[in-house]
Amino acid sequence: MSVSTHVLDSVLGRPAAGMTVQLLRGSTVLAEGVTDADGRARLADGDTEAGPHRVVFGTGEWFAAQDRETFYPSVTLEFSVVDPAAHHHVPLLLAPFAFSTYRGS
């Protein structure tokens, strides 16, 4: 399984560079990273177990570093891995008081 993400600041219309991101299965941290200048992070390559996984975004720290207020100290997105060999892209569209996501490709 490969897992990647892309975080976009929907208020400013630009990538959310420098945000910490973790990939977890249960309480085990499988990978950690920081979004690059384009707001992207690749978190895993290779097979893993099927089942629920989580991506946790460090939104509070990211907004604080920009001296911006946010309602969300972190955003956690849980998703199911059905095919451990498949690529899973978990994007985040972010604003200080709202967020959305979708199954990416």
Query: What pLDDT shows up at residue 49?
Result: 83
Query: What pLDDT shows up at residue 76?
Result: 98
Q: Which DSSP string corresponds to 15-58?
A: E-TT-EEEEEETTEEEEEEE--TTSEEEEE-S---SEEEEEEE-
Q: Do residues 92 and 7 touch, judged by C-beta distance below 8 A?
A: yes
Query: What pLDDT shows up at residue 7?
Result: 98
Mean pLDDT is lowest, of 7-16, 22-31, 45-54, 68-77, for 45-54
Q: 2-101: what fold? A: Immunoglobulin-like (2.60.40)
Q: Give the domain ranges of the chain.
A: 2-101
pLDDT, tens digit (0-9, with 9 covering 90-100), for 39-79 = 999 998 876 789 999 999 999 999 999 999 999 999 999 99
Q: Do residues 31 and 56 touch, judged by C-beta distance below 8 A?
A: no
pLDDT, tens digit (0-9, with 9 covering 90-100), for 75-88 = 999 999 988 888 99
